[in-house]
Amino acid sequence: MKEPKTYFIRTYGCQMNELDTEVMRGQLEKRGLKWLENEAEVDLLIFNTCSIRDLAERKVMGKLGLLAKKKNSDQIVGVTGCMANAKKESLFKKMPHVHFVLGTNDLHTLNDTLDTLLATGSKGIGIQKHFTEELDYIGAKRDDKLKAYISIIRGCNKYCTYCIVPYTRGPEVSRAPEDIIQECKILASKGYKEITLLGQNVNSYGKDNASFNCLFHDLLYKLDAIDGIERIRFMTSHPVDITRQLMEAIRDLPSLCEFIHFPVQSGSSRILKKMHRIYTLEQYLEKVALLKEIVPNAALGTDIIVGFPTETHEDFMETYKVLEHIEYSVAFLFAYSERKGTPATRFKDTIPEEVKQERLQMLIQLQDGIYKKQRQALIGSTQEVLVERASTRNPHLLKGRTRCWKNAIFPGDASLIGSLASIYVDDFTHQTLVGRKVEEPLSLIS
């Protein structure tokens, strides 16, 4: 086996995995490897995987299976990410052509693992349960020059009964505030304008380490003070940990976008209990009402699971009504997928696939109507847009997002890229607001 010269990483799953890929890219480029987007030709091929639903795993297993048939014998193949933690050594048995398996808590050992593999030919495995903060975020290779993901807390202590994440990523570990601030300052000095703070549950930030003396809302005040960072977003939150202080921070901090992911999962308190979400629907709705009182223009996002074991038509209709009532501006809708090793397996996957799909389709249709209505309501308003790039089809059209995450397109000169523009909304297409740049001050509708 010889030192690889080119590499490619195929990324699945959430934003944390995307960031992990950027960190691995930094490590590999430091070693002298070059990115080559060609799975068949590349010397080192890594699958950075996700285990959240069965489909996510099947996609990777299918790819690995195909590769076994056609692979050139010199290619090094690695599996990283949550599926590495979930499947462990069994991946080598099923896929003998895989050379190394590195879980989410072992990515810092990537170059050492490659060294050992090249020196001895022995396969590498790292699947620690606990995360330790040893990743070189400053060296991460980011393609985007305006927006960056920042890891602030890893792991999850919530143990929702359907979810594999606490078993793959392990318990919560917060990153030191000074490290986060330093990274953000470096990014600001390089011209980055927007940061998205990442964690499986960002609102738990700081609770695992009293010596930081810094909870999530405290961190937000520190980051808002950094010159050059115009927008701060965060993903994702557990409703139980969304505090009044956080809501006030959204109201008071200029850079903090008025968008909050507030995942309800189900509208039935009976199902929420079985999911171990630790709130009832009433408590959830009370919190949403408080948010609307403190930040009237806040936009909400959600995740929903339909077809959780024992979900009746009535339970499902409660979920339907919540979607109808709250009118989320982003909704990720999923059919329940049984995950081996999670507590919900004891309830048995009782809802037939066709029923899950029917319920899913009903929510998709409902939500599509809501999206349309929301875009319609924005016509005639002026929105702050971070200008990100020119359209690939027409270089005279610029693209960006509003503070509340809506895509916007408008005519303009490429010199505007990287700046905040006031866009008057004239129209909308399927997923995008269509407008024109104006000089007038921004209205606060978003």
Interface residues with ligand SAH (CB under 6 A) are: 52-53, 162-163, 165, 200-201, 236, 238, 263, 265, 303, 305, 334, 336-337, 339
Q: Is 24 in the site for ligand F3S (CB under 6 A)?
A: no
Q: Is 237 in the site for ligand F3S (CB under 6 A)?
A: no
Nearer to ligand SF4, 83 or 187 (CB): 83
Residue 166 interacting entry, from ligand F3S, ligand SAH, ligand SF4, none, C-beta within 5 to 8 Å by type: ligand SF4
Residue of the chain from 7, 9, 11, 14 that contacts ligand F3S (CB under 6 A): 14
Binding mask 246-285 for ligand SF4 (x = CB under 6 A): ----------------------------------------
Nearer to ligand SAH, 11 or 200 (CB): 200
What is the SS3 string spanning the chain? CCCCCEEEEEECCCHHHHHHHHHHHHHHHHCCCEECCCCCCCCEEEEEECCCCHHHHHHHHHHHHHHHHHCCCCCEEEEEEHHHHHHCCHHHHHCCCCCEEECCCCHHHHHHHHHHHHHHCCCEEECCCCCCCCCCCCCCCCCCCCEEEEECEECCCCCCCCCCHHHHCCCCEECCHHHHHHHHHHHHHCCCCEEEEECCCHHHCCCCCHHHCCCHHHHHHHHHCCCCCCEEEEECCCHHHCCHHHHHHHHHCCCECCEEECCCECCCHHHHHHHCCCCCHHHHHHHHHHHHHHCCCCEEEEEEEECCCCCCHHHHHHHHHHHHHHCCCEEEEEECCCCCCCHHHHHCCCCCHHHHHHHHHHHHHHHHHHHHHHHHHHCCCEEEEEEEEECCCCCCEEEEEECCCCEEEEECCHHHCCCEEEEEEEEECCCEEEEEEECCCCCCCC
Nearest to 276 by CA among 361, 192, 161: 161
Residue of the chain from 25, 108, 142, 169 that contacts ligand F3S (CB under 6 A): 169
Nearer to ligand F3S, 201 or 268 (CB): 201
Residue of the chain from 48, 80, 200, 237 that contacts ligand SF4 (CB under 6 A): 200
Residue 108 interacting entry, from ligand F3S, ligand SF4, ligand SAH, none, C-beta within 5 to 8 Å by type: none
In angstroms, what is the minimal distance from the CB of 241 to ligand SAH? 10
In angstroms, what is the minimal distance from the CB of 13 to ligand F3S? 3
Separation CA 194–CA 418 (nearest Å): 10
In angstroms, what is the minimal distance from the CB of 3 to ligand F3S? 29
Residue 53 interacting entry, from ligand SF4, ligand SAH, ligand F3S, none, C-beta within 5 to 8 Å by type: ligand SAH
Separation CA 252–CA 221 (nearest Å): 9
Where in 70-99 is the site for ligand F3S (CB under 6 A)?
Answer: 81-82
* Piece in contact with ligand F3S (CB under 6 A), picked from 162-170, 247-255, 314-322, 370-378: 162-170
Where in 145-174 is the site for ligand SF4 (CB under 6 A)?
Answer: 156, 158-160, 163, 165-166
Residue 13 interacting entry, from ligand F3S, ligand SF4, ligand SAH, none, C-beta within 5 to 8 Å by type: ligand F3S
Size of site (CB under 6 A) for ligand F3S: 13
In angstroms, what is the minimal distance from the CB of 150 to ligand F3S? 16
In angstroms, what is the minimal distance from the CB of 315 to ligand SAH? 16
Q: Is 201 in the site for ligand SF4 (CB under 6 A)?
A: yes
Q: Is 50 in the site for ligand F3S (CB under 6 A)?
A: yes
Binding site for ligand F3S (CB under 6 A): 13-14, 16-17, 50-52, 81-82, 164-165, 168-169
Binding site for ligand SF4 (CB under 6 A): 156, 158-160, 163, 165-166, 200-201, 238
